[in-house]
Chain A
Amino acid sequence: MAGQSMTSSAVPAGPQESIFGFTKAQFIALLVMFAALVVAPFFLYPVFLMKLLCFALFACAFNLLIGYVGLTSFGHAAYFGMGGYITAHSAKVWGLTPEVSILIGALLAGVQGAIFGWVAIRRQGIYFAMITLALAQMIYFLCLQAPFTGGEDGIQAVPRGHLFGFISLAPDMNMYWFVAAVFVLCFLLIHRIVHSPFGQVLKAIRENEPRTTSLGYRTDDYKLVAFILSATIAGVAGGTKSLVFGIATLTDVHWSMSGEVLLMTLVGGLGTVFGPMIGAGVIVAMQNYLAEMGAWVTVIQGVIFIACVLAFRRGIVGEIGNLLRVRL
């Protein structure tokens, strides 16, 4: 009965064969990423790489929300920082092993995300962003005043401890492999979430929320679950970072951290699989290697941000993907 008009163009529907849910291009990029993770510590300073991975994970968690659900949270530092504090506290005061400390930090960040998300998703757009910011500022002042956070000093001299109770993480290389493993696990988890039927509903909400609700989905529930997942993974990133540096401070709950993760995600490419990681790499590398230029780093960041918004809106990875005609 049908079939007119579409005969020639219909057959090659596009390169869609996938390996574990990754397209071919993404799979190649994934292999490159694995190779880089293995090779990099032999050439670059491991602590710098660990910092980079923690921020990359934070940006990936943030991207889950902004890139796939279209929710712009402006208070993600609260989950990142709180994850850091709780992990540091568990490791130092309670003497728990690193993996358990991180899990507790992540769990609490998730609970916090559940409460804040529940309040914030009632509003859209700029109001959503403002509510998340306001709630995050409350957490900032809580961390400034609460006795367990150590106020301006933060929690210092946090031991890295022994993984599973017997592998010492004190040597940088041991810690590096641990951080890399945490990063890869969470990265794959995010990928799994985005490519599940649940993830498809999230993308549908991002594109057309009224349509999604009139198909029969309670979109608020989906947004809330995504928010909690994002906050939890941000908590993992924050917790891991506090163990790497042995300190949890106010910097990580400050609103400028929320801005920084937004910047990383935008520079790398919103809604791309590898963008947040590249964005985090660019920003962290700049802060590290241009540190002697002092305040100029912020100026350069600003220039990059403007260039990004004006000239390549898809972000670095988004633009490369566009040039190569693949999704990365």
Chain B
Amino acid sequence: MADVMTAPAGAKASTGALMELRGLEAWYGESHVLHGVDIDIREGEVVTLLGRNGAGKTSTLRSIMGLVPRRTGSVKYDGKEFVNARPDVIARAGIAYCPEERGIFASLDVTENLMLPPMVRPGGMPLDEIYTLFPNLKERARSQGTKLSGGEQQMLAIARILRTGARLLLLDEPSEGLAPVIVQQIGRTIRELKKRGFTVLLVEQNFRFAQTVADRHYVMEHGRVVDMVANEDLNASLDRLHQYLGV
């Protein structure tokens, strides 16, 4: 459905990197969790971060978003430096984060949850289009946010950041803990978002799932990026990946 593309503002095919991480380091108190992460994401790409638990995938997303208090290095988005910016400024620049715990507000209903985020730039997806993309949410528009099923909550968490006009979506393990059919549905959603010109940085443990949506995969280990695999080479590099991921 919805082959008519309504790409977010400025989302044309370009070759320059939309986001550039250079030597990104981060600390939680005393513990040094990122040791220099280098990642490039081009406009319109879906890129995944693969790695074992504790490799620093979520911390990378949180650092991009400014949620880790102490960080150094460079986070360039759309040519501007954001490594020392506050989270609300980063969000207003057009980066949207969908955390693993989803962060649905329990005291608000589905529509209120959808309407809560501020518009950061023109060109966000209108509400009825969001409802076309996520018909489940429309059915449950007046239900309390946390009374949805896990899959619906995940969809709500993703849907919520589409309205704002953000161009880069950071999705943290959207497939986690969900039934296989729902995972497929989330996969379809991500492909649909890519079609519409969104750029996605996806954290995943499940590389079978990642394979179905992504253009490239970065592999993280001990707070560093240790490898990069293009999706078409994934099958050829399976042994290497198995070693990294221990699966």
Interface residues of A in 175-212 (CB under 8 A from B): 197, 200-201, 203-204, 206-208, 210-211
B104 to chain A, nearest CB (A): 9
Verify A215–B185 contact, CB threshold 8 A.
no
Verify A214–B65 contact, CB threshold 8 A.
yes
Given contacts A213-B87, A218-B88, A200 and B164 within 8 Å (CB-CB): no
Set of chain B residues within 8 Å of A211, measured between Cβ atoms: 99, 103, 105
Given contacts A1-B188, A13-B141, A215 and B107 within 8 Å (CB-CB): no
Verify B105–A214 contact, CB threshold 8 A.
no
Verify A4–B181 contact, CB threshold 8 A.
yes
Set of chain B residues within 8 Å of A16, measured between Cβ atoms: 109, 142
Interchain CA distance A4-B152 in the complex, whole Å: 11
Set of chain A residues within 8 Å of B209, measured between Cβ atoms: none
A232 to chain B, nearest CB (A): 24
Verify A14–B142 contact, CB threshold 8 A.
yes
* Interface residue A3 (Cβ < 8 Å from any Cβ of B): yes
Set of chain B residues within 8 Å of A213, measured between Cβ atoms: 86-88, 91
A204 to chain B, nearest CB (A): 5
Binary contact track A1-27/B, C-beta < 8 Å → 1, others 0 = 111111000110110100000000000
12 extra A-B contacts, CB within 8 A, seeds A200-B112, A200-B116:
A3-B136, A3-B139, A203-B105, A203-B107, A204-B116, A207-B106, A210-B67, A210-B87, A213-B86, A214-B87, A215-B160, A216-B92
B72 to chain A, nearest CB (A): 20
Set of chain B residues within 8 Å of A2, measured between Cβ atoms: 134-136, 185
Interchain CA distance A217-B65 in the complex, whole Å: 13
Interchain CA distance A52-B151 in the complex, whole Å: 48
Set of chain A residues within 8 Å of B164, measured between Cβ atoms: 215-216
Verify A216–B140 contact, CB threshold 8 A.
no
Interchain CA distance A119-B67 in the complex, whole Å: 23
Verify B91–A201 contact, CB threshold 8 A.
no
B217 to chain A, nearest CB (A): 25
- Nearest 7 CB-CB pairs, A to B? A216-B91, A211-B103, A13-B142, A215-B117, A10-B139, A213-B87, A16-B142
Verify A216–B185 contact, CB threshold 8 A.
no
Picked from B88, B106, B140, the residue with its CB within 8 Å of the CB of A6 is B140
Set of chain B residues within 8 Å of A1, measured between Cβ atoms: 1, 135, 185, 188
Interface residues of B in 213-243 (CB under 8 A from A): none
Interchain CA distance A10-B86 in the complex, whole Å: 39
